Amino acid sequence: MKGKRILLGVTGSVAAFKVADLTARLVEGGADVQVIMTEAAQRFVAPLTFETLSRRSVITSMWTRTPLPEPVHVTLADWAELLVVAPACADFLGKLAHGIADDMLSCMAITITRPPLIAPAMSDSMYRHPAVQANVKILQERGCRFVGPAEGRLASGKVGLGRLADVPDILKAIQEALKK
């Protein structure tokens, strides 16, 4: 991971807390990590958590001021070697599949030219919904890589498909994606 430039998108899922560990491990491995959080993600984990772990200001809005030249989404798309979205909620999958760019993360995802690595996390019934499955299929056909979701105990207490992949599995998928 040494010197790799990774954009890490965090969406609204209770699994967002697990991405703090992912961030720490990427940085420990020498990666330069820029976190982008959706508004919904900020309801689960504070941006300060990711700022502390990444040692960078977190981008939380299309209108976040940064020291980067404008437009930020273009500058960061050129800078990044990989966009990782973890956890990726159903809303984000739908936006990316249909080209909706109404927040910084979805705007970034359609600006970056390399296929993103997506780690979905949501309830079993939500993940299995035909609309979500259609969006996953569209994204896979466009070259997006997926890691997970995993089977197991969900935030609701139910057991099913929808857990965020384990951090070591996401790290392995990031390493594989960076090789391509």
Pairing of strands 150-153, 159-163: antiparallel
**The two three-digit tokens of residue 173, written as one number:** 């998928």
Q: Is the dihedral of CA 79, 138, 60, 171 positive or negative?
A: negative
CA distance 135 to 140: 9
Does residue 42 contact residue 10 with C-beta atoms inside 8 Å? Answer: no
At 174 the pLDDT is: 97
Domain map of the chain by residue range?
5-179
Does residue 8 contact residue 81 with C-beta atoms inside 8 Å? Answer: no
| Per-residue pLDDT tens digits for 53-94 | 999 999 998 776 666 666 777 788 888 999 999 999 999 999
At 31 the pLDDT is: 97
The length of the chain, given as a count of residues: 180
**CATH of region 5-179:** 3.40.50.1950
**pTM of the full structure:** 0.93
Give 73 or 46, the one with higher predicted confidence: 46
Does the structure show a pLDDT above 90 at 180? no
| Per-residue pLDDT tens digits for 89-108 | 999 999 999 999 999 999 99
CA distance 163 to 85: 14
State whether residue 37 is helix, strand or coil. strand
* Measured torsion, CA atoms of residues 156, 58, 3, 110, in degrees rounded to the nearest 10: 80
Averaged pLDDT, 132-155: 95
